């Protein structure tokens, strides 16, 4: 009986030691996990926007690998956490919460459409997260938790209209967009701008279509008819995602050439053109802040590294990729400057940070949380690349609030202390926007 009790005590001791070892190992897991700095990737890998967003996921993974090869950040390796919001706008908010609350990422690079960005804003504000948004957008926003590395309207849309007026003699305008906040707000700004330039209301045609729209026959016929009034006509396109493929195909089907009615696009770049027959598109335009065809040593080196990473010597680059690269490098520099990944410290450290862009200059993060950018106009070539026909001589500072809209012309954003405001009214001297 004594032997049995002794054996039982020894067994219990072994179990206790084993349990303690398991508990110790479990306790060490979080400590080990903290040895990496997690980077969130919030881009659609399926659905209508995957045609544009998937490559941005790859870009972040590439930048994480490049940074880890340099030793990481603050002595720690970076770890990418990728989710797929699947072109579903409410799902963007769910996935953002997952990244911030569950995965504890230090920063998120993500979103393409403005509706997805608007969807996640409350989450980033509530959880004090940090979002880098890499795509051109409509402006009319400056949030403390967001850094906008894509173009504001004065860095893309307005220069594109100016180019068409001055170089193509355009007098009639078709503003064609996907039916959501970015095209509607951008076109509202453009309509006001055109009218300020003397364009009459009857010389402006506005049309919206849903995401993924595929039947363009009637709309293109209407555009063709609108352009037959004896005045030079152009299409300013804010059509997003895979709807661009049938849109351009229908232009070709109806014989609309760039010499007849040029189209200038704000959401069509090298990635979108890689999947379609570009011959009917030759001569049509796009306005961006970067093209793969930019001839600089910095760009050539980046393309070479990108293709080595993707193991594909035909893989293209595009503007939102460059904006992602700029934002990523700014974040790294700000973290090193702050000595921490704490969001409040990094947000403060980001203002004034400047990093090389791929056009051969430097882009700086301004107090309005937008960056300085050059503006480029490119003509589509039959190989899916762009011939750069115009480039601003210097960098343009973003106007986060449009001077052409009544509700925002008196607003500015400055996130430096003591102002720390995204919509300061210079007339009332108060933070809070128009009429406050």
pLDDT, tens only, 96-141 = 999 999 999 999 999 999 999 999 999 999 999 999 999 999 999 9
**Residue 26 reports pLDDT greater than 70:** no
Please say which residue of 288, 307, 330 terminates a domain: 288
Asked if 147 contacts 110 with a C-beta cutoff of 8 angstroms, the reply is: no
Structure tokens at 318: 């595009």
Positions of E strands within 139-232: 146-148, 172-178, 204-209
Is residue 31 domain-resident? no
Q: CA dist 123 to 119, 126, 295, 390, Å?
A: 8, 5, 40, 40
User: What pLDDT score does 273 carry?
Assistant: 87
User: What pLDDT score does 281 carry?
Assistant: 86
- 242 and 276 inside one domain: yes
- 93 and 197 inside one domain: no
- 369 and 423 inside one domain: no
- 177 and 270 inside one domain: yes
- 417 and 356 inside one domain: no
Q: Which residue has the tokens 């989710």?
A: 83
User: What pLDDT score does 238 carry?
Assistant: 95
Number of domains composing the chain: 3
- 166 and 227 inside one domain: yes
Within 215-316, residue ranges assigned H as helices are 217-226, 244-253, 270-273, 297-310
Map residue 193 onto helix, strand or coil.
helix
Given pLDDT bands bounded at 50, 70 and 90, which one contains residue 34?
low
pLDDT, tens only, 185-235 = 999 999 999 999 999 999 999 999 999 999 999 999 999 999 999 999 999
Is residue 434 domain-resident? yes
- 133 and 174 inside one domain: no
pLDDT, tens only, 67-86 = 999 999 999 999 999 999 99
Task: Read off the pLDDT of each residue in 333-343 and give the average, rounded to a whole number.
Answer: 98
Q: What global pTM score does this model have?
A: 0.88
> What DSSP designation does 319 have?
H
Task: Read off the pLDDT of each residue in 399-419 and give the average, rounded to a whole number.
Answer: 95
Is residue 142 domain-resident? yes
Asked if 54 contacts 45 with a C-beta cutoff of 8 angstroms, the reply is: yes
Please say which residue of 350, 374, 398 terminates a domain: 374
CA dihedral 22, 27, 33, 34 (to 10 degrees): -160
User: What pLDDT score does 271 carry?
Assistant: 87
- 432 and 327 inside one domain: no
Given pLDDT bands bounded at 50, 70 and 90, which one contains residue 25?
very low
Is residue 130 domain-resident? yes
Q: Of all residues in the chain, what percent carry a pLDDT higher than 70? A: 92
> Does 436 or 193 have the greater pLDDT score?
193
Task: Give the number of residues written for the chain.
Answer: 436
**Residue 374 reports pLDDT greater than 80:** yes
- What average pLDDT does the chain have? 91
> What DSSP designation does 5 have?
H
Domain that holds residue 121: 36-152+296-374
Asked if 369 contacts 156 with a C-beta cutoff of 8 angstroms, the reply is: no
- 166 and 284 inside one domain: yes
pLDDT, tens only, 141-163 = 999 999 999 999 999 999 999 99
- 225 and 326 inside one domain: no
User: What pLDDT score does 228 carry?
Assistant: 94
Is residue 141 domain-resident? yes
Is residue 7 domain-resident? no
Task: Read off the pLDDT of each residue in 333-360 and give the average, rounded to a whole number.
Answer: 97
Task: Read off the pLDDT of each residue in 10-33 and give the average, rounded to a whole number.
Answer: 40
Given pLDDT bands bounded at 50, 70 and 90, which one contains residue 434?
low
Task: Read off the pLDDT of each residue in 252-259 and give the average, rounded to a whole number.
Answer: 92
User: What pLDDT score does 33 carry?
Assistant: 46
- 145 and 166 inside one domain: no
User: What pLDDT score does 187 carry?
Assistant: 97
Task: Read off the pLDDT of each residue in 357-384 and give the average, rounded to a whole number.
Answer: 95
Task: Read off the pLDDT of each residue in 26-48 and give the average, rounded to a whole number.
Answer: 76
Is residue 278 domain-resident? yes
Please say which residue of 288, 310, 330 terminates a domain: 288
DSSP notation for 103-144:
S--SEEEE--SHHHHHHHHHHHHHTT--EEE-S--------T
pLDDT, tens only, 52-63 = 999 999 999 999
**Which CATH number goes with the domain that contains 281?**
3.40.50.2300
Is residue 281 domain-resident? yes
- 268 and 333 inside one domain: no
Q: Per residue in 209-223, is it b (16+ CB within 10 Å) or e — as a string?
A: bebebeebeebbeeb
Asked if 330 contacts 310 with a C-beta cutoff of 8 angstroms, the reply is: no
**Residue 385 reports pLDDT greater than 50:** yes
């Amino acid at each position: 009986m004594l032997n049995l009790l002794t054996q039982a005590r020894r067994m219990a001791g072994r179990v206790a030691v084993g349990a303690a070892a398991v508990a110790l190992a479990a306790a060490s897991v979080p400590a080990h996990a903290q040895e990496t700095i997690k980077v969130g990737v919030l881009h659609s890998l399926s659905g209508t926007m995957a045609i544009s967003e998937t490559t941005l996921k790859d870009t972040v993974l590439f930048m994480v690998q490049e940074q880890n090869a340099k030793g990481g950040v603050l002595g720690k390796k970076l770890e990418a956490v990728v989710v797929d919001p699947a072109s579903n706008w409410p799902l963007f908010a769910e996935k953002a919460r997952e990244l911030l609350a569950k995965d504890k990422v230090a920063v998120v690079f993500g979103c393409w459409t403005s509706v997805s960005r608007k969807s996640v804003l409350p989450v980033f504000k509530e959880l004090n997260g940090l979002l880098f948004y890499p795509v051109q957008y409509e402006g009319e926003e400056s949030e403390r938790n967001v850094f906008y590395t894509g173009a504001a309207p004065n860095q893309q849309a307005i220069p594109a209209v100016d180019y068409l007026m001055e170089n193509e003699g355009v007098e009639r305008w078709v503003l064609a967009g996907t039916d959501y906040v970015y095209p509607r707000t951008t076109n509202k700004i453009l309509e006001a701008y055109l009218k300020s330039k003397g364009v009459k209301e009857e010389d402006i045609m506005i049309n919206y279509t849903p995401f993924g729209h595929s039947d363009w026959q009637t709309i293109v016929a209407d555009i063709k008819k609108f352009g037959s009034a004896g005045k030079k006509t152009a299409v300013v396109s804010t059509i997003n995602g895979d709807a661009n493929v049938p849109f351009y195909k229908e232009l070709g089907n109806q014989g609309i050439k760039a010499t007849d009615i040029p189209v200038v696009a704000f959401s069509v770049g090298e990635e979108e053109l890689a999947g379609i027959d570009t011959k009917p598109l030759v001569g049509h335009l796009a306005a961006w802040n970067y093209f793969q065809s930019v001839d600089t040593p910095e760009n050539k080196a980046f393309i070479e590294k990108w293709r080595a990473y993707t193991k594909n010597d035909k893989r293209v680059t595009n503007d939102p990729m460059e904006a992602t690269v700029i934002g990523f490098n700014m974040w790294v520099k700000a973290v090193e400057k702050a000595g921490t990944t704490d969001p409040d410290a990094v947000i403060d450290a980001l203002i004034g940070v400047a990093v090389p862009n791929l056009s051969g200059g430097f882009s700086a993060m301004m107090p309005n949380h937008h960056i300085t950018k050059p503006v480029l106009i490119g003509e589509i070539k039959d190989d899916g690349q762009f011939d750069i026909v115009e480039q601003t001589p210097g960098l343009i500072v973003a106007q986060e609030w449009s001077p052409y809209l009544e509700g925002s012309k008196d607003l500015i954003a400055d996130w430096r202390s003591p102002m720390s405001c995204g919509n300061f009214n210079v007339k009332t001297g108060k933070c809070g926007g128009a009429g406050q």
